[in-house]
A and B are shown apart, each in its own frame.
Chain A
Amino acid sequence: AQKITQTQPGMFVQEKEAVTLDCTYDTSDPSYGLFWYKQPSSGEMIFLIYQGSYDQQNATEGRYSLNFQKARKSANLVISASQLGDSAMYFCAMRDRSNDYKLSFGAGTTVTVRA
């Protein structure tokens, strides 16, 4: 069965600093995708970044990068040069074939950026 674990319920980060959000996952399927979504107070779910299980390189999208450690089943999100607009809840999620491609989410991490 799938399981996504985010152990940090809340974090504070200073503006312009980097922050790392932890995510570990569990699957027996060799083919899977890992996703990070951002949910600001407005409630919309914003896709940030994707990492495939077969990808050799860590994914990057602008200020977002994913620290993918396959052997440890870890997919941490790094936000560089934090901005006030980064204050939001962040969810790690996974899809795999063994679970019929259902997207399962972690509990989320709330990030608050301080000026």
Chain B
Amino acid sequence: GAGVSQSPSNKVTEKGKDVELRCDPISGHTALYWYRQSLGQGLEFLIYFQGNSAPDKSGLPSDRFSAERTGGSVSTLTIQRTQQEDSAVYLCASSYRNFNEKLFFGSGTQLSVL
């Protein structure tokens, strides 16, 4: 595809369940980012990948959150034992790695924890 693809677009889950969110970046983009956005709020940085490694995991809110990237491409964000406060839109973005490269964003996954 031409853009960043995220799935699912919507996810409703029960408190305590685990969820996996997927991001398929633009081919060739070495950098991949996960952000979280609560309703009407700004973007909260979660984690960043350069290739398959994650140099910066500083934004992950708790140890219930983890992410991996395989083959320098697809990334999965996993939230274990979901809580209601995890409800938000999770945005993925990819780019080339340089200060003058813009990020391309996916359409996001709307996560609702009941």
User: Do A and B actually bind?
Assistant: yes
Mark A residues whose CB is within 8 Å of B.
Answer: 29, 31-33, 35, 37, 43-45, 47, 50, 52-53, 91, 95-97, 100-108
CB-based contact A33/B100 at 8 Å: yes
CA–CA, A50 to B98, complex, Å?
Answer: 13
**Alpha-carbon gap, A100 to B49, bound state (A):** 10
- Known A-B contacts A100-B50, A102-B33, A102-B56; the reply to A107 vs B99 at CB < 8 A is no
Knowing A102-B33, A102-B48 are in contact, say whether A43-B107 is a contact too (CB < 8 A): yes
Interface string of B25-40 (1 = CB under 8 A from A): 0000001010100000
10 closest residue pairs by CB, A with B: A45-B105, A33-B99, A107-B42, A105-B43, A95-B99, A33-B100, A108-B42, A47-B102, A52-B100, A103-B103
Contact A35 B91 (CB under 8 A): no
Residues of A within 8 A of B108 (CB): 43
Chain A residue contacts of B95, Cβ below 8 A: 103
Q: Is the CB of B97 within 8 A of A43?
A: no
Q: Kindly list 5 other residue pairs between chains A and B, CB separation below 8 angstroms, not including A33-B101, A106-B42.
A: A31-B99, A44-B105, A45-B103, A47-B104, A52-B99
Counting chain B residues whose Cβ lies within 8 A of the other chain, the interface size class is 20 to 34
Complex Cα–Cα for A43 and B35 (A): 13
- Which residues in B have some Cβ–Cβ distance to A below 8 Å? 31, 33, 35, 41-43, 45, 48, 50, 55-56, 89, 91, 93, 95, 97-105, 107-108
Chain B residues with CB below 8 A from A44, complex form: 105, 107
Q: Which of B45, B50, B55, B89 contacts A104 (CB 8 A)?
A: B45
Q: Are B42 and A101 in contact (CB under 8 A)?
A: no
Q: Can you offer 16 A-B residue contacts whose CB atoms are under 8 A?
A: A33-B100, A44-B107, A45-B91, A45-B93, A45-B103, A95-B101, A96-B99, A100-B48, A101-B31, A101-B98, A101-B101, A105-B43, A105-B45, A107-B42, A108-B41, A108-B42
Kindly list chain B residues whose C-beta atoms are within 8 Å of the C-beta of A104.
45
Given contacts A32-B99, A33-B99, contact A100 B56 (CB under 8 A): yes
Nearest CB of B to A60, in Å: 16
A107–B95 Cα gap in the complex (Å)?
22
